[in-house]
């Protein structure tokens, strides 16, 4: 699947690819540069610093799923999906456990 989107005022393409059970989502610039890759991961792959920061910020909310995000510059973050107030939310943390954003 491939779809056009605008992020931070810039056009990019979201491309989903998969093979042998592995699925990746790529954010690609119009010139073909891969800006970021996103991959679902098991919770045991998430660094303990991220899990601890999540538990502190969202006490009592269990993680539903986790995604590893790797930017073109090599920076890694983790997006954790959870439910709060009956709604599914996503919180992103750096690999060191620093809160980035909630969606």
**Apex 50 CA angle, 45 and 52, nearest 5:** 115
Token representation of residue 94? 């750096």
Domain extents in the chain: 2-102
Contact between 4 and 17 under an 8 Å Cβ cutoff? The reply is no
Distance of CA 64 to the CA centre of its chain: 13
Token representation of residue 52? 């601890």
pLDDT score recorded for residue 7: 79
pLDDT score recorded for residue 40: 93
Q: What is the CATH number of domain 2-102?
A: 3.10.450.360
pTM higher than the cut 0.75: yes
Query: Which residues of the chain have a pLDDT value below 50?
Result: none
pLDDT score recorded for residue 21: 77
Give the alpha-carbon dihedral of 40, 43, 47, 50, to 10 degrees: 90
Distance of CA 46 to the CA centre of its chain: 11
pLDDT score recorded for residue 82: 96
pLDDT score recorded for residue 79: 97
């Amino acid at each position: 699947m491939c779809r056009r989107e605008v992020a931070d005022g810039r056009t990019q393409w979201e491309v989903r690819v998969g093979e042998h059970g592995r699925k990746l989502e790529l954010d690609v610039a119009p010139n073909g540069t891969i800006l970021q890759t996103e991959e679902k991961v098991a919770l045991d792959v998430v660094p303990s610093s991220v899990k601890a920061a999540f538990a502190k910020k969202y006490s009592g909310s269990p993680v539903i799923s986790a995604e590893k995000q790797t930017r073109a510059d090599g920076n890694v973050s983790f997006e954790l999906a959870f439910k709060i107030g009956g709604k599914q939310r996503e919180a992103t943390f750096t690999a060191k456990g620093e809160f980035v954003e909630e969606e």
